[in-house]
Amino acid sequence: MDRPKFDIKYVTEWQAPEEIEAPDARIICMPNVPKPIQGPGCQPRTILGNSTWNHMRKRCYFLAGYKCECCGREVGKDIEKRQLAAHELFSYDFKAGTARFKQCVALCHLCHTQGGVHSGRAYTMYKKGNPFMTANMVLEGAEHAFSLVHKWNTEHPDEEPLRLYATWVEFAKDKQIGQDICALIEKYDVKFYAPDPKTQAPWGNWKLFIGKKEYPTPYANEQEWEKKMEELNRTQTDNPRNFKDPFSGGVFDEIKETLKNS
166 belongs to a structural domain: yes
SS (H, E, C) 205-250: HCEEEECCEEEECCCCCHHHHHHHHHHHHHHCCCCHHHCCCCCCHH
187 belongs to a structural domain: yes
Domain that includes residue 101, residue range: 8-261
Looking at the structure of the chain, the number of domains it has is: 1
Neighbours of 56 (CB within 10 A): 16
Residue 12's Cβ-side half-sphere holds a number of Cα atoms within 13 Å equal to 5
Which residues of the chain have a pLDDT value below 70?
1-4, 76-82, 233-262
87 belongs to a structural domain: yes
At residue 82, the pLDDT reads 53
3 belongs to a structural domain: no
Q: pTM of this prediction?
A: 0.84
1 belongs to a structural domain: no
2 belongs to a structural domain: no
Nearest to 33 by CA among 150, 165, 125: 165
At residue 3, the pLDDT reads 58
162 belongs to a structural domain: yes
**DSSP states along 91-150:** EEETTTTEEEEEEEEEEEHIIIIISSTTHHHHHHHHHTT-TTS-HHHHHHHHHHHHHHHH
